[in-house]
Amino acid sequence: MTAEEQTEARKQPQRRFSAVRAVANTMIAVGLILIGFVLYELWVTSYFARRAQGALQEQFRERAAAIELEAVPYKNTGDRPDAPFQVPADGTGPTETGVDGNGEAGDGNGAESVIVVEPAPLLGDAIGRLVIPRAGVDWSIVEGVERSDLRRAVGHMPGTAAPGQPGNAVLSGHRTTYGAPFYNLDLLETGDQILVETASGTHIYEVVDSLVVEPAETWVTGQWDGAWLTLTTCSPRFSASKRLVVVARLVAGPNAAAILAGL
C-alpha cells in the first residue's frame, strides 16, 4: 500500500464520523425546533389568551352598561322545536329526531309575549361570559369566529341567534391552544348546565346531547324553533379532523318563559 493509499484509508473513518455527526446535529436541531413549536402552541399562546381575559371582561361590562335593551313582541306559535334534539311532549328528557323532524303542536295558543333584546354587536366586541361548571370553563365571548377572535376568547358565530334569544346560538372555541377553553367539552353529559351572561341577563341552558361530526356537517349551525346553544370545537384533541358538538336548550333566563311557553 502506497503512502497515499494509507492516508486515504485513515481519512475514511474521519469522513464517516463527520457525516454521522452532521446528521446527529441536524436531528437535534429539528428536535429543538419541534419542542419549541409545541411549547409555543400549548403554553405561550395560552398565556396570551388568558392575559386577554381581563381586558375582555372589562369591555363586556362597559358594553353592558352603555347599551340600551329593547323589549320587543314575540309570538310563540305553539309548535314543537324544529331541531335534531327536541324536548318530548311528556317532559321526560331530550330525544333525537333528525334535522327535518317536526313534533306535535304544543298547547300554546300563539299568544304574543315580550322578549328582551340587545343591539347587534360589532365584530370583535366582547359580548358576554360563558360558564360551564363541569368542564371548568369561565371564559369571555366575543363576536366573530375568525382566528383573531378565537385566539383570545370563545367566538359567537355571526348570523346565528344571540345567546338567550330564539333560534340557535353557536359558540366556537379552541380545544388545545390559545387557552383551550373547550379542552374538557367532552365531559359534558345530558342535563349539565351551561350559563351564558350577556347584557340582557344570565341565560341557563341544559345539555341535551354531545356528538362528533365531520367538518362539512354544517347543519349543526342551523336555526331551529325554540332557544338553543351549540358549542363546537375540534375532535379529537390535538387534531382538527372532526368536530365535537354539544347541543343545549334554554331552560331559564330573561326570555325563557316567553320562548318556551306552549312548546
Task: Please give the pLDDT value at position 111.
Answer: 58
**C-alpha grid cell, residue 31:** 428536535
**C-alpha grid cell, residue 253:** 333566563
Tell me the C-alpha distance between 226 and 263, whole Å.
8
Looking at 63, 174, 243, 249, which residue is catalytic? 174
Element (H, E) at 28: helix 3-39
pLDDT per residue as tens, the chain (263 positions):
666 655 656 656 665 656 656 665 565 554 544 444 444 455 566 677 888 898 999 999 999 999 999 999 998 766 656 666 544 444 333 433 333 333 333 344 555 789 999 999 999 999 999 999 999 999 999 999 999 999 999 999 999 999 999 999 999 999 998 999 999 999 999 999 999 999 999 999 999 999 999 999 999 999 888 899 999 999 998 788 899 999 999 999 999 999 988 56
Domain residue spans of the chain: 35-260
**C-alpha grid cell, residue 187:** 365531559
Tell me the C-alpha distance between 261 and 256, whole Å.
8
Tell me the C-alpha distance between 19 and 15, whole Å.
6
Task: Please give the pLDDT value at position 97.
Answer: 35
Task: Please give the pLDDT value at position 11.
Answer: 59
Q: Is 181 a catalytic residue?
A: no
CA dihedral 130, 64, 160, 72 (to 10 degrees): 130
DSSP for 96-116, written as a single string: E--TT------S----EEEEE
258: Cα separation from own chain's centroid: 27
**C-alpha grid cell, residue 196:** 351564558
Tell me the C-alpha distance between 233 and 242, whole Å.
9
Q: What CATH number was assigned to the domain covering residues 35-260? A: 2.40.260.10
**What is the separation, in whole angstroms, between the first and last Cα of the chain?**
99
Tell me the C-alpha distance between 220 and 254, whole Å.
25
Looking at 234, 258, 259, 263, which residue is catalytic? 234
Which residues lie across from 246 on neighbouring strands?
Answer: 210, 231
- Are 48 and 55 spatial neighbours (Cβ–Cβ below 8 Å)? no
pTM: 0.76
Element (H, E) at 36: helix 3-39
Q: Is 156 a catalytic residue?
A: no
- Are 152 and 144 spatial neighbours (Cβ–Cβ below 8 Å)? no
Task: Please give the pLDDT value at position 84.
Answer: 60
